[in-house]
Amino acid sequence: MADRPSATSPVLAREVARPIPQPRSRLGRHRALWAYIFISPAILALLLFALGPILFTFWVSVHDWNLIAPIPDMPFVGLENYRYILTKDATFQQALRNTFIFTILGVGANTVLGLLGALLLNSPIRARAIWRSIFFLPILTAPLALGMMWTALLNKNYGLVNEILGVFHIPPQPFLSNPDQALPSIILIAIYQYVGYYIILYTAGLQGIPQEYYDAAAVDGANKWQTFWSITLPLLRPVLLFIIVTNTIGALQVFDIVFAATTGGAETSGGGPAGSTMVVVLHMYNTAFKFFRMGRATAMATILFAIIFIITLIQLRLLRQRE
């Protein structure tokens, strides 16, 4: 393992050793004031349009509300909603299971594949801008088109994917129409849809690494693998953290893709054959807007919130930037 470039690169060494002024000092207080000014418009907006409403959500979760009755008339039910969800709601338990599987596999795959794709894109190639735009295309294509397209491609009797499998003498697979294959199919669609997005994010991250570091490493005689592990990956840490944390937060709340692939936009409740692709947020949506049980839906949202919050804290702790 080659030495870390810090010994040879004065720039990196100085950066690591630089102290940040503490808030106690006069300089620190002056700076802290500016920081507060910078964040205040955003904090105000978030309080108003996100955090306040979230508190309202927690409050509703200990009431029984059918969305129609006036809010002050909601009966207080204590922890009844929570008790029901955690002990009696079989659909919720199935949804939670499906959501966790989706998150672990989806986030894992996208994190790794995205990085591989970005490294590919970042290496010396021609017409990089064109390639980048190509990877951006699935993001541009509206979810509706993607949902329709994949439903058609994965069709058991007529889909292109089964045609290709048939060439290899593999019998046609039901994919989305079978309880055992539906969830893996959804995961594949999700990976497909978002991998380009992560490739672009990683690419931007890679751009942020100064060429000087690579040059210093080359001077030190480090090969590609060593360069990757000692320079690229550590300096990608902030982006990696971002990707893993936001990807997880998003995956635990997956909705659009399951909705598009299993409801087709009609009055269906979705969730795939025999509920095999039912995810927590879809069940939450049905509970609120089909069953008129907003108290229970907000309780579900609170439980999910707690789960996401804890997982995020753990991730931040494990992956944080060494100060």
Partner 1 sequence: MIRTQTSPIGMLGRTLKYLALALLGLWMVLPFFWMISASLMTSQEIQRLPPPFLPAVAQFQNYVEVAKVVPMARAYANSLLVTIFSVAGILFTSSLCGFAFAKYQFPGRDVIFLLILASMMIPFFVILIPVFYIVKQFGWINNYAGVVVPGMVSAYGIFLMRQFIQDIPDELLDAARIDGASEFRIYWQIIIPLSGAALATLGSFNFVTIWNSFLWPLLILQSRDLWTVPLALNSLRTFGAEARVLNLQMAGTALSVIPALIGFLFLQRYFVRGISLTGLKG
Partner 2 sequence: MNKQNLFKILSVVSMMLLATACAGAVPTSAPSATSAPAATSAPAATSAPAATSAAAPTSAPAAGNPVKLVVLTHWGEEALLKPMQAKFEEYQKQNPNVTIEYQTVTFDQLLTKITTGRAAGISPDVYHFYNLWMPDFVKGGLLDKPPADVLADIQANYSEGSQKAVTYQGQLWGYPTEINTWQLIYNKKLLQDAGITKPPETLDELKAAACKAKQVDSSGKITQPGLILLPGWDSGVVHPYLSLLWSNGGEYLNADASKALFNSPEGLATLQVYQDMIKDKCIDLSAGMDVFANGKAAMIIMANFWRSTLQTAPIGYENVAVAPIPHGANSKSTALQYNWAYGVDANSKNKEEAWKLVKWLNTPGTSPSAPSGATPIGDFLTSALGAMPSRLSDQKALADRLNDDFIKAYLASTQTARPEPVVPGGQEVKTTLQTNIEDAWFGKKDPKTALADAAEEADRILAENK
- Residue 270's binding partner among partner 2, partner 1, none (Cβ under 5 to 8 angstroms by kind) is partner 2
Q: Which candidate, 231, 230, 250, places its Cα nearest to that of 242?
A: 250
- Residue 11's binding partner among partner 2, partner 1, none (Cβ under 5 to 8 angstroms by kind) is partner 1
- Residue 269's binding partner among partner 1, partner 2, none (Cβ under 5 to 8 angstroms by kind) is partner 2
Residue 118 within binding range of partner 1, rule CB under 8 A: no
- Residue 148's binding partner among partner 1, partner 2, none (Cβ under 5 to 8 angstroms by kind) is partner 1
Considering only the C-alpha atoms of the chain, give the largest distance between any 2 of them, rounded to a whole number of Å.
75
Among 71, 112, 116, 160, binds partner 2 (CB under 8 A): 71
> In angstroms, what is the minimal distance from the CB of 29 to partner 2?
20
- Residue 290's binding partner among partner 1, partner 2, none (Cβ under 5 to 8 angstroms by kind) is partner 2
Residue 51 within binding range of partner 1, rule CB under 8 A: yes
Among 7, 8, 83, 136, binds partner 1 (CB under 8 A): 136
Residue 48 within binding range of partner 1, rule CB under 8 A: yes
- Choices 23-31, 99-107, 127-135, 171-179 (CB under 8 A): range interacting with partner 2: 171-179
* CB nearer partner 1, residue 87 or residue 267: 267
Residues 260-279 that bind partner 2 (CB under 8 A): 262-263, 265-275
> In angstroms, what is the minimal distance from the CB of 166 to partner 2?
10
- The total of other beta-carbon atoms located within 10 Å of residue 278's CB is 26
314-321 long-range contacts (CB < 8 A, ≥24 apart) are 315/241, 315/244, 315/245, 315/248, 316/241, 316/245, 319/237, 319/240, 319/241, 319/244, 319/245, 320/241, 321/237, 321/238, 321/241
- Residue 68's binding partner among partner 1, partner 2, none (Cβ under 5 to 8 angstroms by kind) is partner 2
Residue 315 within binding range of partner 2, rule CB under 8 A: no
Residues 102-141 that bind partner 2 (CB under 8 A): none
Name the site residues for partner 2 (rule: CB under 8 A). Answer: 41, 44, 66-73, 88, 91, 155-157, 171-172, 174, 177-179, 262-263, 265-275, 286, 289-293
